[in-house]
């Protein structure tokens, strides 16, 4: 069929003279088009060049998650002014989903993109970016300023092989939210909370415990919190060995108990933070383990329940030992391919200084990473739980730091979700095997 049409086409010959003329004309058109393109390209190059010229301010490009609150834009304006207009910052919004953010940054950095200066990194990406040589280590005065007064666990997220690779911008962690009309005193441990749920069920009252059980990063966060609270860890600090042991088995058995016991929400295996919030607002749950964004949500969505909507510290696994809740947040790093590293370090420090973190907390609702800001009650008029958040952050745990964190996290979330399917001993064994594969680049991600 295809060959046939070829053969038919070949004998047909157009008269020579008009064809040549036609071709000449089209060649002229190609030339003009190419010329136009060259002019355009040189104009564009010139436009790019102006930023590095000594006359005007340098343009620093800042890649960060999309901040719809306006806090980031305000911080940028402040920093531009404070620098005496030495630099301007161009804010490039990354996709909303964390995976999309990471993919865009990774693709640019793997291609040595020199137009990135400052990057907003999720607290789980530092090891990967540092090991790949994509971000600059912090040294000297910049490092001292980054460390000064910064929350220890937040700082820990930015350290890889003993070097600081980023400066913590904002942070976050979870509390236990409960209904004081159902439970007079909040449970201190998981055992107490599960018993409370069983009692409430017997009394025919709302009894669900809301937590992130869907197969995604949230399930990994839950598992990490439980293992750390039980006194264990997932990987060793240099990410060369899997260190899951008895604490992991204990963590897994509590997760299974929740999923299969009276406190387990039937839709646990598809629930993320927002589903948890909605279930609590709908009145079907007694407890919720979640980030502080649920507080203003309850206030506007269900003022009646809001009166009894209280918070406490995350329940302990081992009674008497504070829970080690997983820390979240964003760190700022400077790209190795940046043309203006010195200014980029300066701008990153400014973007997360006290003044701008106050703006971030008040407008953006993201908890600060500078410890002293938590002693400023005026700052937290809409944030009555700031003392508990600070306590939780000071005892927080960091997710396993490894360059192959993506694979590690996906492996964990696929093994612990759905939580009802956990078999503590064998799930732990399977996890050890899969994480070992991941550390040797032998693991697949689905």
Partner 1 sequence: MTTTTEAAPGGATTEVAKGRKAPLSEGARAERRLGWLLCAPAVIVMIAVTAYPVGYAVYLSLERYNLELPNAVKFIGLANYGAVLSSSYWWEALWVTVLISVVSVTITLVLGMLLAMVMHRTLFGRGSVRTAALIPYGIVTVAAAYGWQYAWTPGQGYLSAMFNNSAPLTDQFKAIGVIVLAEIWKTTPFMALLLLAGLSLVPEDLQKAAMVDGASGWQRFVRITLPLMKPAILVAVLFRTLDSFRIFDNIFILTGGNNGTASVSILGYNNLFNALNLGIGSAISILIFICVAIIAFVFIKGFGTAAPGTDIGKR
Write out the residues near partner 1 by the rule CB under 8 A: 1-4, 7, 99, 103, 106-107, 110, 128-129, 131-133, 270, 403-404, 406-407, 437, 440-446
Q: Report in angstroms how near the CB of residue 417 gets to partner 1 at its nearest.
A: 12
The smaller minimum CB distance to partner 1, of residues 4 and 18, is found at: 4
Nearest to 416 by CA among 224, 179, 240: 224
Nearer to partner 1, 350 or 412 (CB): 412
d(CA 422, CA 444) in angstroms, rounded, equals: 21
Bridge partners (DSSP) listed for residue 382: none
Report the distance separating Cα 267 and Cα 233, nearest Å.
Answer: 28
Indicate the residue among 128 and 288 with the shorter CB distance to partner 1: 128
48 vs 110, which CB is nearer to partner 1? 110
Q: Which residue has the tokens 């295809």?
A: 2
| Residue 318: C-alpha distances to residues 189, 190, 322, 324, 428 (Å) | 7, 9, 8, 11, 19
Complex with partner 1: residue 1 or 16, whichever CB lies closer: 1
Q: How far is the CB of 444 from partner 1 (least distance, A)?
A: 4
Which residue, chain included where needed, has tokens 């009145």?
A: 283
Q: Could you report how far apart the first and last alpha carbons of the chain are, in Å?
A: 41
Least distance (Å) from partner 1 to the CB of residue 237? 17
Nearest to partner 1 of 270, 420 (CB atom): 270
Q: Residue 316 or 406: which CB sits closer to partner 1?
A: 406
428 CB-contact burial (10 Å; exposed 0-12 / middle 13-18 / buried 19+): buried
Nearer to partner 1, 4 or 266 (CB): 4
Pairing of strands 87-93, 58-64: parallel
Strand-strand pairing, 175-179 and 285-290: antiparallel
Instruction: Decide whether 323 or 404 has the Cβ nearer to partner 1.
Output: 404
| Cβ at position 150, least distance to partner 1 in Å | 25
* CB closer to partner 1 out of 100 and 384: 100
The backbone region for 158, taken as left when phi is positive above 0, alpha when psi lies in -120 to 50, beta otherwise, is: alpha
The distance of closest approach from Cβ of residue 436 to partner 1 in the complex, given in angstroms and rounded to an integer, is 12
- Cβ at position 397, least distance to partner 1 in Å: 23
Residue 443 CB, nearest approach to partner 1 (Å): 8
Nearer to partner 1, 2 or 378 (CB): 2
Q: Which residue is listed with tokens 């004081």?
A: 180
Q: How far is the CB of 214 from partner 1 (least distance, A)?
A: 10
CB burial of 87-124 (b: ≥16 within 10 Å; e: otherwise) equals bbbebbebeeeeeebbeebbebbeeebebbbbbbbbbb
CB of 57 to partner 1, least distance (A): 34
Task: Give the residue among 408, 400, 413 at the shortest CA–CA distance from 433.
Answer: 408
Q: Residue 225, Cα to own-chain centre: how many angstroms?
A: 16
Task: Quote the least distance from Cβ 66 to partner 1, whole Å.
Answer: 19
- What is the closest distance, in whole angstroms, from the C-beta atom of residue 7 to partner 1 in the complex? 8
């Amino acid at each position: 069929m295809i060959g046939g049409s070829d053969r038919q086409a070949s004998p047909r010959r157009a008269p020579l003279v008009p064809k040549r003329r036609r071709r000449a004309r089209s060649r002229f058109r190609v030339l003009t088009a190419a010329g136009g393109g060259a002019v355009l390209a040189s104009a564009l190059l010139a436009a790019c060049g102006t930023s590095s010229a000594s006359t005007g301010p340098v343009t620093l490009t800042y890649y960060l998650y999309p901040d719809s609150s306006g806090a980031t834009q305000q911080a940028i304006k402040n920093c531009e002014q404070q620098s005496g207009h030495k630099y301007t910052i161009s804010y490039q919004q990354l996709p909303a989903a964390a995976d999309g953010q990471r993919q865009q940054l990774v693709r640019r950095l793997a291609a040595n993109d020199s137009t990135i200066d400052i990057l907003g990194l999720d607290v789980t990406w530092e090891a990967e970016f540092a090991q790949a040589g994509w971000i600059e280590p912090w040294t000297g005065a910049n490092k001292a300023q980054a460390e000064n007064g910064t929350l220890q666990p937040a700082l820990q997220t930015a350290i890889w092989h003993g070097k600081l690779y980023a400066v913590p911008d904002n942070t976050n962690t979870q509390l236990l939210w409960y209904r004081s009309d159902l439970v007079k005193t909040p449970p201190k441990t998981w055992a107490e909370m599960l018993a409370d749920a069983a009692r409430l069920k017997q009394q025919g009252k709302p009894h669900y415990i809301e937590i992130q059980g869907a197969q995604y990063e949230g399930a990994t966060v839950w598992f990490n919190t439980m293992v750390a609270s039980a006194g264990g860890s997932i990987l060793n600090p240099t990410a060369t060995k899997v260190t899951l042991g008895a604490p992991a088995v204990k963590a897994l058995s509590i997760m299974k108990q929740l999923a299969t016991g009276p406190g387990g929400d039937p839709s646990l295996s598809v629930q993320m933070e927002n589903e948890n919030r909605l279930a609590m607002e709908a009145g079907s749950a007694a407890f919720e383990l979640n980030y502080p964004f649920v507080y203003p949500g309850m206030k506007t969505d269900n003022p009646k329940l809001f009166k009894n909507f209280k918070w406490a510290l995350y329940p302990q696994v081992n009674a008497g030992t504070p829970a080690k809740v997983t820390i979240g947040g964003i760190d700022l790093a400077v790209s190795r391919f940046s043309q203006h590293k010195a200014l980029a370090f300066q701008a990153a420090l400014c973007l997360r200084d006290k003044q701008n973190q106050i703006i971030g907390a008040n407008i953006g609702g993201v908890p600060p990473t500078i410890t002293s800001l938590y002693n400023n009650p005026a700052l937290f008029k809409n944030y009555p739980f700031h003392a508990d958040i600070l306590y939780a952050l000071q005892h927080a745990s960091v997710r396993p730091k490894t360059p192959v964190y993506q694979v590690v996290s996906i492996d964990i979330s696929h093994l612990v979700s759905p939580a009802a399917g956990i078999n503590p001993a064998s799930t732990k064994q399977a996890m050890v095997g899969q994480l070992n594969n991941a550390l040797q680049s032998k693991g697949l991600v689905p």
